[in-house]
Every structure is written in structure tokens, then in C-alpha cells.
């Protein structure tokens, strides 16, 4: 039963990727857009899918791999449901961005760049988000949270994990 499920999933994934690639007329120039769409769907770039992309675009695998490793927007390891970016830029650093990062690491039990074992959160640092007046800034799933203090973090994380458990029901 479980095996069937996986085979079905693989088939679905293959079809999904083929659909994306044909939407871009299988042009090698559209590689980045294709990878972006795949990243949005799976939150990371699985190896077999990258192999499929390379074959269908007629590119050497290393070229696809090179692009996938070059941009920070792409990830080769599975990422959590919510991505947390803590700004460590100059302004945020001065306003205590580092202690926010440390508190995040403590609360989530992971290091910068890692994902929680329950696949809920991925923690990473960014160098500037251009919202220095709000510093220290934390961005979770694209929404900005300004003037974050270590005290606020617990509430913030609880909000997102609650939301997830609610949507599961």
C-alpha cells in the first residue's frame, strides 16, 4: 500500500515537472523560472526532479546543478513549511539582530540554515531586507515582523505552529 502511494507520488511529480517545462516550451533559457516553479511546489529541488529537468531541457546535469547551487533562493535539502529569515544586516545587528537569532535557535532547537525535524520551520539569516527602520527584522513566509525582541519570538512562533495544526484539522 505504502509502496503504491510512493509510485503514484513519483508519477505525479514527473507529470507535474513535464507540465511546467512544456509551459516554458522546454527552452533552456527558462531554466531558472522552471526551477523557481518547482521550488515553490516542493519547497526544495529533489535530485530526481533535477535529473528530469536536465534530460527534458537537453542540458548537462551539471549546468542545472550549478544554477541550483548558485542561487540562495534554491535549496537542495528539504525545507520546512515556514521559512524564517532573521536579518543580520548592519542596522539590525546594531539593534540586536544577533540575540534574536540566538533566541530563535534556542526556541527551535536548530542552528542557522537548518530545518526543524517536524519540517515546520527553516531558519536562515539574511544580510539586509531594506527595512532597517523596523530592525531587528524577521520575515516569516514573506510577512515582515519589525522591532522583534527576544520576548516576542515565542509568541510569533506559536502563532505559526498553531496555524499549521489548525489547518491540519
List of residues contacting another protein (CB under 8 A): 47, 50, 59-66, 69-70
- The three-class DSSP label of residue 169 is coil
Q: Which class for 64: exposed (0-12), middle (13-18), buried (19 or more C-beta within 10 A)?
A: buried
User: Cβ 64 to another protein, closest distance in Å?
Assistant: 7
Count Cβ atoms below 10 Å from residue 165 Cβ, excluding itself.
Answer: 9
User: Cβ 58 to another protein, closest distance in Å?
Assistant: 11
| Residues 159/149, Cβ–Cβ less than 8 Å | no
Rounded CA separation 125/121 (Å): 13
User: Cβ 89 to another protein, closest distance in Å?
Assistant: 17
| Cβ-based nearer residue to another protein, 11 or 71 | 71
| Cβ-based nearer residue to another protein, 9 or 47 | 47
| Cβ-based nearer residue to another protein, 64 or 92 | 64
User: Cβ 47 to another protein, closest distance in Å?
Assistant: 6
Count Cβ atoms below 10 Å from residue 120 Cβ, excluding itself.
Answer: 16
| Cβ-based nearer residue to another protein, 47 or 118 | 47
Residue 39: φ, ψ to 5°: -60, -40
Amino acid at each position: 500500500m505504502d509502496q503504491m502511494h510512493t509510485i503514484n507520488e513519483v508519477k505525479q511529480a514527473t507529470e507535474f515537472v513535464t507540465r511546467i517545462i512544456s509551459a516554458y516550451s522546454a527552452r533552456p533559457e527558462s531554466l531558472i523560472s522552471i526551477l523557481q516553479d518547482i521550488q515553490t511546489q516542493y519547497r526544495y529541488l529533489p535530485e530526481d526532479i533535477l535529473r528530469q529537468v536536465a534530460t527534458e531541457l537537453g542540458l548537462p546535469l551539471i549546468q542545472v546543478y550549478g544554477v541550483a547551487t548558485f542561487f540562495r533562493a534554491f535549496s537542495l535539502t528539504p525545507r520546512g513549511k515556514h521559512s524564517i529569515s532573521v536579518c543580520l544586516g548592519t542596522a539590525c545587528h546594531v539593534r540586536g539582530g544577533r540575540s534574536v537569532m540566538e533566541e530563535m535557535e534556542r526556541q527551535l532547537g536548530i542552528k542557522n540554515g537548518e530545518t526543524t525535524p517536524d519540517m515546520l520551520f527553516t531558519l536562515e539569516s539574511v544580510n539586509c531586507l531594506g527595512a532597517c527602520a523596523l530592525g531587528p527584522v524577521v520575515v516569516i513566509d514573506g510577512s515582515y515582523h519589525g522591532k522583534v525582541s527576544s520576548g516576542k519570538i515565542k509568541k510569533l512562533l506559536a502563532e505559526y505552529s498553531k496555524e499549521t495544526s489548525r489547518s491540519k484539522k
